[in-house]
Homo-oligomer: A and B are copies of this chain.
C-alpha cells in the first residue's frame, strides 16, 4: 500500500511488535499468564527484549497516507489545528487536557471517543494532553460538542479543549504524594489548583508567547522544571534525620557519606543502650537539602510538613526560537505547603502571568522579557521581594555576578 510502510516493514517487519493487531483482536485471557509462568522455571515461555509496538500501525489513515508529506498547519481555534498535506488532504487535530493521573475508566472513554470520530486512533502529547484527529469538518464539530459535554460528577471537564498557540498549556509534573517516596510537596493537587485558576488561558491565545509551566515535587526534578517559563519546585528545608538504630541495617554507610555533594555527612559512632553502633552525623550548617542522602539511605528522611514547601523559578525555555534555551531562575525561595488548594502558590503564579502578559512583546517568552527589562525591574513589576536566596552560591556562581555599572534604578535602590 504505502511506500513508507513497506520500507519500515522491510527493516522491522520481523519484530513481534511490528503488527500487533492479531493479538489485540483476541479477548484478554486472565488465566494465560499463570499458565505460562512457572516460578521454578522462570525462563520458560518468557518473551523479553521485544521493545515497544511499532508506531506506524497506530496512526490514523490520513496520517499514514501523508506521513512526512505535511505542508502547513493553521490553528483554526484554540485547541484545533488544521493540517494540510502536499496531497491536499487535511486533518484536524483536537487537543484537550488530561490530569495525566487517570483511571482505566477514563482511558476507556478516550477509546470510545476515538472509535466514534477518529477511526479508533488517538494520541497523547509530550505534555500530557490528548489529541484526537478528525478528517472532516463534520466529524470535527461533532467531536468538539461531544468533548465539551463530558464532565465529572463534581462538574470539572473531562476533556477541556485548548493548549495550542500562545496559551498556557498543560503542566508537566510528577508523582508527589500519590506515588513517590522523596517528595517535598504533592503534584496533582497543585496542578489542579493552578490550572483551575489559569483555565481561561488554556483555552485561548492571549499570552505574548507560549507559557510552559512545570512542577517537580523534589530537587530530582523529574518534571525537568529546570527549563520552564514557570517552575513549581518542592523543596526541603530541614536536614535529614539520622536513624542510628537502623541505619547500618538499611544502607551502606560509605554510600551515605559519599552521597553528599557538600561532604556534610561524616561517619560516626554512638552508644545505644551500652553498645557502640556505627552511624553518620550531618553537619547541618553545610546541608543544602538536596535529598541525595535520603535517595541513597532510607534511614535519613528529610520530609517535614513544616519545613517543606514550594520554590518558584521562572524564565526558562527549551525551544531555540529567537533566543537560545535557558534555565529557570529561582525568584521565590519558599512558599509554605497549603494543601489541598495551595492558594499562595496559585496567587503568586497568577500575578507573574498577568504581569508578563501585560508587559511582554508579541513572541517574547517570559525569560526573554525579564532579561530585556532587567531582573531588578522584573522583581519590581511582579512585586516579588528579592532575597539573598536568589543569589547563586553553588559551583558556577561567579558567572551570575553582576560585573558592570549597567543597572536600573528600582524599588531596591530607591529604598537603600
A104 within 8 A of B: no
On whether the beta carbons of B406 and A320 are closer than 8 Å, the reply is: yes
| Of A242-250, A287-295, A397-405, the one touching chain B | A397-405
Chain B residues within an 8 Å CB radius of A325: 403-404
Question: What is the size, in residues, of chain A's interface with B at 8 Å between Cβ atoms?
Answer: 10
A324 within 8 A of B: yes
Q: Nearest-CB distance from A393 to chain B (Å)? A: 14
Q: Encode contact with B along A72-105: 1 for CB under 8 Å, 0 otherwise.
A: 0000000000000000000000000000000000
A107 within 8 A of B: no
Chain B residues within an 8 Å CB radius of A320: 404-406
| Bound CA–CA A105/B324 (angstroms) | 59
A396 within 8 A of B: yes
| Bound CA–CA A403/B320 (angstroms) | 10
Chain A stretch 376-399: residues in CB contact (< 8 A) with chain B: 396, 398-399
Chain A stretch 284-326: residues in CB contact (< 8 A) with chain B: 320, 324-325
On whether the beta carbons of A324 and B404 are closer than 8 Å, the reply is: yes
Contact of A403 (CB < 8 Å), options: B324, B396, B405 = B324
| Bound CA–CA A120/B399 (angstroms) | 48
Chain B residues within an 8 Å CB radius of A399: 396, 399
Q: Nearest-CB distance from A224 to chain B (Å)? A: 14
12 residue pairs A–B, Cβ–Cβ below 8 Å: A320-B404, A320-B405, A320-B406, A324-B403, A324-B404, A324-B406, A325-B403, A325-B404, A396-B396, A396-B398, A396-B399, A399-B399
